Structure 1
Amino acid sequence: MPFTDTTACRAVATALLATAALALTTACHDLSVHRAGSPGGVSPAPTSTSREDGENLSPGPDGRVACTPEMLRFHAGAMPRRTHRMLLTVTNSSGRTCHFAAQRYPLLRFGDDRQPTLPAIAASRPSTAVSLAPGDTAYATITTSAAGEPGGRGHRGRKISQFGVALTGGATPTQVGLDGRAPVHVDPRTATVTYWQPSLDAARKW
């Protein structure tokens, strides 16, 4: 059959129709996939996972992070001229400012991990959480026994030369030895601890 303009037009039209049908089929398929995968055709943003220990090590708007044992130097010992008192100090030895906002008093244990942590003296809570710039120090006063129990010599009293300090619940305690390794007699039944204090004068009030 001779090739005419009419034949050419029909061939072109047939090809265009086939291309249009294929494009329409592909578009419909893509639309159905989007609708099935997420409402409105918008893929959900990936969900970030949180740390299992609950600590937020990302700096806040002011550049601070939660204090960790690796950032601090610990010291402990009897408080001069104060009976039944020990003083715990932590100094920020890192180059970053940190804070105790999540856990505002130290979690202390005299003995093994089965012992409960010492209760905090509620009245010692500062109005704001203590923050430590590099080189700064925070303080906590430990009452080793209740009044009326000289030396804490109850039937459960004991002499200690070190004790465990945790900065957050569930964290592994850091073992802190007493300055000079001189044992101190404590009664775990009645011992208490203050909240972190921003100065030595504030800690001495307790």
Structure 2
Amino acid sequence: MRIATRFASRATASAMVVAAALAFAGVQAAGQSASAATAKAPSVVTCTAANTKLTVTEVSRPINHLLLKVTNTGTKPCYAYSAPYLRAGDDAQAPLPWIEESTPQSVVTLEPGRSAYAGITTYSPEGEGGSEAKTLGVLLTDRNGNPTGQEKTLNLPNGGVFFNSAATVTYWQDNAADALVW
């Protein structure tokens, strides 16, 4: 009985040593993996006109809508914060209002080559006044909602688009369908 107990104690002690050694090795490996991942992880920057490409297109549905697309052309991921500031035409007095209900649950992060989308409602029968605009001025925003960099001027489809006081823009969405819901 004493031999069996001594054998069991040695086996238990050996198992504990092996488990401790494996746990220590796992902690070291995990630490190395985490530091290696941290060292290799690219920092995320703010999307600006300098590190993105902007395009605006007409959509068939819903009517009176355009789709604004921003594509990351940089080498690092970028955050597409809030919504873009849009100026419809050269003589626009104020940017189009943002549709607050379209705020996504988190900031849209664009890996290099990936895109985000904002839906633009150009007019509504409830709106007042209006005129045809040939260009769309676009300013991207930082995390505080302030404009970043230079305004990018895009030509609107079909030589111009009618905008009235009901024109609005959504927050950036990670897919076109969500941007066009509003």
One-letter code aligned to 1:182:
G
Pairs aligned (count): 137
After superposition, the C-alpha distances for 1:85-107 in whole angstroms (9 at most, x for unaligned) are 11110111111100023xx1000
The match for 2:155 is: 177
- Structure 1 gap ranges (5+): 1-60
TM-score (norm 1): 0.60
TM-score (norm 2): 0.68
- Provide the aligned C-alpha RMSD in A: 2.0
Secondary structure of the residue aligned to 2:150 is coil
Secondary structure of the residue aligned to 1:99 is strand
Instruction: Please tell me whether the aligned partners of residues 78 and 184 of structure 1 are also in contact (alpha carbons under 8 angstroms).
Output: no
Identity of aligned residues (%): 36
Question: Is 1:109 matched with 2:87?
Answer: yes
1: distance between equivalents of 2:160 and 2:179?
A: 21
The match for 1:19 is: none
2: distance between equivalents of 1:107 and 1:183?
A: 19
One-letter code aligned to 1:66:
T
Q: Which has the higher strand share?
A: 2
1:83-98 matched pairs, under 5 angstroms: 83-98=63-78
Instruction: Please tell me whether the aligned partners of residues 89 and 135 of structure 2 are also in contact (alpha carbons under 8 angstroms).
Output: no
One-letter code aligned to 1:176:
L
How far is the alpha carbon of 1:136 from its aligned partner? 0.4
Say which one has the larger Rg.
1
After superposing on structure 2, the runs of 4+ consecutive aligned residues of structure 1 that deviate more than 4 Å are none
1: distance between equivalents of 2:163 and 2:151?
A: 19
Q: Do the aligned partners of residues 166 and 113 (structure 1) sit closer, same or farther apart at CA in structure 2, a change above 3 Å counting?
A: farther
1:1-206 matched pairs, under 5 angstroms: 63-101=43-81, 104-112=82-90, 115-146=93-124, 148-149=125-126, 154=128, 156-168=129-141, 169-170=146-147, 171-179=149-157, 181-187=158-164, 189-206=165-182
One-letter code aligned to 1:116:
A
